[in-house]
C-alpha cells in the first residue's frame, strides 16, 4: 500500500498555496504510507538556468562551500539553497552535465534527486508530516506538484527508495503498487547501459520510462509501452514540466480518484485526500479507467487514450 496525491493548478491565483494544499493532501495519506514521503514540485524557473536537487546524509559537511567548490568546475553563476538534507543548486542550463560530473568527484556522498528547469524533488524517511515540515513544503509555491507516502513492500526503507523518482529533465514518477518483473527488467536495462541505483521496483519503472524516452518515445508512448512491459500492479502518476499524467494497470486494483474544477485537476489514492480542496463539493469526481493514459498540460487540453489490455 502507498498513497499518491497530485495537484495541477489551472488558476494561477492558487499557485502560492500549492505547497500548503499538497501538504494537507499528503498528510491525509499517512496511513497508506507512514515510512517515507516525498514531493515533486514545479516551481519558478529562470530562463537559461537549470536546477539540480541533491541529497546528503551529512548535509553540514557536504553542502558547506559547495557553491564555491562548484564555481571552480562549472561556468557562470552557481547558487545553492539548503533545505535540511537536500539542496537546490541553480546554474546555467548548459552546465548541468559538468556539475553532475564534478559532484561525483568533489562530493561523492551526494545523490542527485532531480534535474530540470523547474522541478525540485524532496524525499526522506519518516512520517509524511515530519518530512513535509523538514523541507517546509507548506511554504512552496508552484504550478503543479506530486506527493507520495510509502509503505515499503519490495525493498528497503531508505531515502533513495522513497518516491518521487526523477525520470528525465523536469520529469518524475510516483507509484502505488508492486512490480513483479522488476528483477529481470533491471538486468535487461543494466545490460543496455541504464544506471539503476537501488533494488527498488519503482526505480526500475522510472528507469524504464527514461530509457524509452531516450530511445525516442514521448512520455505518453513510454507510458503506453509500460502497460506491455511492466508486470504487476501499478497506479503511476508522472509529472512533466507543463503537466501531469496518470496510468493504471489493466487490473487496476490500486485505488485512484480524480477531481476536476475550473481551478485545478487533483489526484488522490482516496477521496479523503481531496476533501479540503476548494470547491470539491461541486467538482467532477471520477476514477481513472484501467489501462488508459491520461494527461493534463498547461499547453494543451486534457487527453485520455485507451490502450487495450
Partner 1 sequence: MQSFDLEAQGLRALNSALNAQSSETNQTVWEVVNAKGSHAIAVGLDAPIEVNIKGSTGYYCGGMNKQATIHVHGSAGPGTGENMMSGKIIIEGDASQYLGATAHGGLIVVKGNASSRCGISMKGVNIVVQGNIGHMSAFMGQSGNLVVCGDAGDALGDSCYEARFFVRGSVKSLGADCVKKEMRPEHIEFLNDIIAESGVDAKPEDFTRYGSSRTLYNFDVDNAGAY
Residues designated as active site: 2
Contacting partner 1 (CB under 8 A), which of 129, 270, 298, 307? 270
Residue whose CB is less far from partner 1, 112 or 285:
285
Q: How far apart are CA 298 and CA 242, in angstroms?
A: 5
Number of neighbours of residue 30 by Cβ within 10 angstroms: 15
Q: Closest distance between partner 1 and the C-beta of residue 29, in Å?
A: 11
Does position 253 interact with partner 1 (CB under 8 A)? The reply is yes
Q: Which of 83, 129, 275, 298 binds partner 1 (CB under 8 A)?
A: 275
- The least distance separating partner 1 from the CB of residue 178, rounded to whole angstroms, comes to 17
Contact pick of 15, 49, 255, 260 for partner 1 (by CB under 8 A): 255
Give how far Cα 306 sits from Cα of 6, 84, 173, 224, Å.
21, 42, 20, 9
| 272 contacts partner 1 (rule: CB under 8 A) | yes
Residue 232 lies near partner 1 (rule: CB under 8 A): no
Element containing residue 26 per DSSP (H, E)? helix 18-28
Please answer whether residues 19 and 147 qualify as being in contact, where contact means their C-beta atoms are separated by less than 8 angstroms.
Answer: no
Q: What is the residue whose three cell numbers read 512533466?
A: 240
Shortest spacing between CB 249 and partner 1, in angstroms: 12
Which residue among 21, 274, 283, 293 contacts partner 1 (CB under 8 A)?
274
Choices 12-20, 48-56, 84-92, 251-259; region in contact with partner 1 by CB under 8 A: 251-259
Q: Where are the beta strands (DSSP E) in the chain?
A: 2-9, 36-42, 49-55, 78-83, 86-92, 111-116, 119-125, 144-150, 165-168, 171-179, 232-240, 243-248, 257-260, 264-268, 284-286, 292-297, 303-306
Position among 252, 258, 265, 283 found at the interface with partner 1 (CB under 8 A): 252
Cα dist. 291→87, 109, 210, 234, 248 in Å? 37, 39, 20, 10, 5
Position 221 contacts partner 1 (CB under 8 A)? no
In the complex, the smallest distance separating the C-beta of residue 257 from partner 1, rounded to whole angstroms, is 8
**Distance from C-alpha of 22 to C-alpha of 5, rounded to nearest angstrom:** 7
Cβ of residue 254: shortest distance to partner 1, in angstroms?
Answer: 10
- Which cell numbers hold the place of 195? 544506471
User: Within positions 281 to 300, which residues make up the interface with partner 1, using CB under 8 A?
Assistant: 285-287, 290
Per CB under 8 A, residues contacting partner 1 are 251-253, 255, 257, 270-272, 274-275, 285-287, 290, 309
Amino acid at each position: 500500500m502507498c498513497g499518491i496525491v497530485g495537484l495541477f493548478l489551472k488558476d494561477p491565483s492558487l499557485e502560492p498555496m500549492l505547497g500548503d494544499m499538497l501538504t494537507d493532501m499528503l498528510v491525509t495519506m499517512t496511513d497508506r504510507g507512514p515510512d517515507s514521503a516525498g514531493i515533486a514540485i514545479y516551481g519558478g524557473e529562470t530562463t537559461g538556468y537549470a536546477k539540480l536537487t541533491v541529497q546528503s546524509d551529512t548535509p553540514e559537511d557536504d553542502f558547506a562551500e559547495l557553491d564555491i567548490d562548484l564555481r571552480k568546475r562549472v561556468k557562470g553563476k552557481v547558487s545553492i539553497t539548503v533545505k535540511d538534507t537536500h539542496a537546490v543548486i541553480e546554474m546555467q542550463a548548459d552546465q548541468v552535465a559538468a556539475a553532475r560530473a564534478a559532484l561525483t568527484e568533489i562530493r561523492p556522498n551526494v545523490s542527485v534527486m532531480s534535474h530540470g528547469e523547474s522541478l525540485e524533488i524532496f524525499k526522506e524517511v519518516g512520517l509524511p508530516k515530519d518530512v513535509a515540515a523538514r523541507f517546509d513544503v507548506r511554504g512552496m509555491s508552484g504550478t503543479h506538484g506530486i506527493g507520495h507516502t510509502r509503505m515499503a513492500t519490495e525493498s528497503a526503507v531508505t531515502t533513495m527508495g522513497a518516491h518521487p523518482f526523477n525520470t528525465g529533465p523536469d520529469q518524475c514518477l510516483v507509484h502505488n503498487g508492486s512490480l513483479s518483473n522488476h528483477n529481470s527488467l533491471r538486468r535487461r536495462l543494466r545490460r543496455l547501459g541504464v544506471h539503476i541505483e537501488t533494488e527498488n521496483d519503482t526505480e526500475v519503472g522510472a528507469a524504464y520510462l527514461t530509457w524509452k524516452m531516450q530511445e525516442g518515445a514521448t512520455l505518453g508512448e513510454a507510458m503506453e509501452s509500460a502497460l506491455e512491459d511492466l508486470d504487476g500492479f501499478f497506479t503511476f502518476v508522472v509529472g512533466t514540466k507543463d503537466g501531469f499524467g496518470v496510468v493504471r494497470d489493466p487490473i487496476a486494483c490500486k485505488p485512484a480518484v480524480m477531481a476536476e474544477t475550473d481551478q485545478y485537476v487533483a489526484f488522490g489514492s482516496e477521496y479523503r485526500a481531496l476533501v479540503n480542496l476548494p470547491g470539491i463539493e461541486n467538482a467532477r469526481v471520477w476514477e481513472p479507467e484501467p489501462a488508459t493514459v491520461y494527461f493534463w498540460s498547461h499547453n494543451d487540453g486534457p487527453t485520455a487514450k485507451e490502450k487495450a489490455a
